[in-house]
Structure 1
Amino acid sequence: MFVLLDEAGRICRVGDTLQKLRPMQDMQGLFFQDLFELLRPHGLTTMSELLASADAKLRLRFRDEPRTALKGVVAPLPRGQGAVVNLSFGISILDAVRDYALTSADFSGTDLAIELLYLVEAKSAAMEASCSLNQRLQGAMLAAEEQAYTDMLTGLGNRRAMDHLLGHLVASGTPFALMHLDLDFFKSVNDRLGHAAGDVVLQHSAHIMREATRGDDIVARIGGDEFVLLVKHLQDRAQLGGMAARLIERLQQPIPFEKEFCQISASIGIALSSQFADPQPNEILRAADEALYAAKRAGRAKHRFFDASGERETDVSRTCQHETGATGPHAPPRMEPDQLS
């Protein structure tokens, strides 16, 4: 990065790096002021004035595009034979490296620009590594969060997810129905065929519940054989009753396991958010649980709606209205209250 000038100010020779900035231009024979615009000191037009500025730092730039800014120092040669102007990029070095595809070979090993380039390269590598690490950490955090809210056996939301989403629905004022579903006779499946059969039943039941609900509804497993369905924007009892009856009917179908068949049913308690003036998550859950208990007392394989008008009655079966019960060849036998589970 140097320019060798004769006594008249013509360019006799330029350094290889400087020539790389203008590879198609023959700089030899040009006057220094024709190639560069002197910004500081301002107004230098002759070689004698340039030599007089030997103690000052030059600020200059190319006259043609790209008008890269440079810094320079004039070093007069002995006996008035001309001068050498040493040049550098200064703070514009990053732009120059980008614009001209410069490498470390284009600079002297003692040039401080090399140190700056190494620092910039190290910073770029560090930032890239940091960005990659942040992306991995974010991915791991999302995976851990998803795992914390997912029931690993069924793939449904777990109790934590249900509590969070129920709280959000209540806080947002979104109307919804809460179905508390419990699998009847699930314990007998575990006792007779083992926990592997029980796992198959739970997975099969979860699949049925997903198919029976809409895309924005929520299905969660909140206990061993207990599930909660949050049905958004639906308060119509006829539609909800039909949905519950279809669930019960499908869950009563025999489930194959190895060479055996697992036979279960379901009881469902339903509470509507519109039944409460100021709905609270625990209050709605308790209401659906009372309706579920009434369904079981009525003989299972049935559903009940919570009746807010009788909320303070001690007999839960009187506080809930019977809608429809599942019947058919696969309906399990009616159980007495002391056999409820």
Structure 2
Amino acid sequence: MKVDRALGCAAPIEWSALEAALDILCPMHLRLTETGHIIHAAPTLQKMCAESDLIGKRFLEVFLLDRPRAITTMSELMARARSKLHMEFRVAPHTSLKGVLVRLPAGQGALVNLSFGISVVEGVLDYRLTSADFAATDLAIEMLYLVEAKSAAMDASRKLNQRLQGAKLAAEEQAATDTLTGLKNRRAADRILAQKIEDSGAFALMHLDLDYFKAVNDTKGHAAGDHVLQEVAKVMRAETRKGDMIARVGGDEFMILIDDEVSKVKLDEIAARLIQGIEKPIPFERDVCNISASIGIAVHPECGHLDLDTLVQHSDRALYASKDKGRACATFFDDLEAPKP
């Protein structure tokens, strides 16, 4: 009996049994007639072309050959048996494939085995394929596992970076925050003010000091003092805008940066509301705490401030002028008499 060297089996071929085996070993193969008509398509190709039955169609009607070029007939394709073929589907998504054609004996047509090559990832995504759609020994499976592992590693890395970034931002925010009141601290205030001065924008700096706060601490204890500071912070938030900076820069000292506002009338109104709000009795346990606030205001750049220290000194001088006037009031630095030489 004649043995076909290409297939290693005796002719005639029992196709029902052989194709069942080939469907497992080569799940992307086709069997063609001598005229190039498709008479069998393996399971993966059937899945890829579920909306268009391949059986009965001509191979060159389904696929466009890129290499070798200039092949337009089945006889020309048969003549290039065993050569590597480069092709793509003629219909969307025009997936690129690699293949090899082997002629069958006694005019029984040909087998064409196909693969995705390096475009396997795109093919899997386009056709929603799984490992079950490939031969168990196909290197594409290993490649898919590597791609999946890389994707998982990248996703884990991205999530880790997000957590690290979140932790970094949280740490930076914590380092810039007064833990008792939740306001900015002195370091954050200095940084923000220095940046505002460098930007040469118009703003006002209010330096606020609590009156009679020491008496609260001495007579009612530090817990009462902490409670008072927290209530004062609430008043400051309520009487300023969201974009204004409020910072606790000392035990009972605060700074407020009123951004883009240099009108004395408006600043006087803000200061008056702050003083009025802070003067309200603050309940603590079964007692009340009574304090007030003195405020000094320096306006940038009207006072000619050249640096952070000068700006803070001007607001501090205005603050102590308010203390000297009897407390619970606000003073502008540029209303002070020029210092004598």
Distance 1:149 1:48, change over 3 A: same
With structure 2 as the length reference, what TM-score do the two structures score? Answer: 0.83
1:247 equivalent in alignment to 2:262 = no
* SS class of match (2:183): coil
Task: Note the 1:233-244 alignment, pairs <5 A.
Answer: 233-244=260-271
- More off after superposition, 244-253 vs 132-141: 244-253
Any idea what the Cα deviations from partners look like across 1:67-120, whole Å, max 9, x if unmatched?
322111122334554322111112332232222211111110111211221122
Distance 1:102 1:301, change over 3 A: same
Any idea what the Cα deviations from partners look like across 1:187-222, whole Å, max 9, x if unmatched?
121111111100111011112222222333322111
Task: Quote the residue 1:285 is aligned against.
Answer: 312
Distance 1:300 1:34, change over 3 A: closer
Any idea what the Cα deviations from partners look like across 1:21-42, whole Å, max 9, x if unmatched?
2224443344333333322212
Task: Quote the residue 1:321 is aligned against.
Answer: none
1:70 equivalent in alignment to 2:101 = no
Q: Retained in 2: the 8 A contact 1:273–1:279? A: no
In 2: Cα distance, 1:214 partner to 1:52 partner = 82
Segments of 5+ residues of structure 1 without an aligned counterpart are 315-341
Aligned AA for 1:52? A
In 2: Cα distance, 1:31 partner to 1:303 partner = 93
Residue-pair matches, total: 314
Aligned AA for 1:266? A
1:169 equivalent in alignment to 2:196 = yes
Aligned AA for 1:205? V
* Counterpart among 221, 224, 238 of residue 251 in structure 2: 224
- More off after superposition, 109-118 vs 303-312: 303-312
* Counterpart among 136, 139, 149 of residue 109 in structure 1: 136
Q: Retained in 2: the 8 A contact 1:251–1:266? A: yes
In 1: Cα distance, 2:62 partner to 2:262 partner = 82
Aligned AA for 2:215? S
Task: Quote the residue 1:152 is aligned against.
Answer: 179
Superposed displacement of residue 168, structure 1? 2.3
Task: Note the 1:123-138 alignment, pairs <5 A.
Answer: 123-138=150-165
Task: Quote the residue 1:14 is aligned against.
Answer: 41
Aligned AA for 2:120? I
Segments of 5+ residues of structure 2 without an aligned counterpart are 1-27
Any idea what the Cα deviations from partners look like across 1:144-188, whole Å, max 9, x if unmatched?
222222222212221122112212221222222211111122112
Q: Retained in 2: the 8 A contact 1:275–1:308? A: no
In 2: Cα distance, 1:311 partner to 1:230 partner = 24
Task: Note the 1:170-319 alignment, pairs <5 A.
Answer: 170-307=197-334, 310-313=337-340
In 1: Cα distance, 2:39 partner to 2:46 partner = 13
Task: Quote the residue 2:166 is aligned against.
Answer: 139
Task: Quote the residue 2:9 is aligned against.
Answer: none
- More off after superposition, 188-197 vs 165-174: 165-174
Task: Quote the residue 1:327 is aligned against.
Answer: none
* SS class of match (1:215): coil
Aligned AA for 2:44? T
Q: Retained in 1: the 8 A contact 2:298–2:311? A: yes
* SS class of match (1:160): helix
Distance 1:307 1:60, change over 3 A: closer
Any idea what the Cα deviations from partners look like across 1:22-67, whole Å, max 9, x if unmatched?
2244433443333333222123345443333234211122334443
In 1: Cα distance, 2:328 partner to 2:34 partner = 109
Superposed displacement of residue 277, structure 1? 2.8
Aligned AA for 1:62? F
Aligned AA for 1:303? A
Any idea what the Cα deviations from partners look like across 1:259-294, whole Å, max 9, x if unmatched?
112122222222222443353211010111122223
- More off after superposition, 21-30 vs 277-286: 21-30
* SS class of match (1:123): helix
In 1: Cα distance, 2:71 partner to 2:262 partner = 87
Superposition RMSD in Å: 2.4
Aligned AA for 1:129? A
Superposed displacement of residue 309, structure 1? 7.4
Superposed displacement of residue 7, structure 1? 4.0
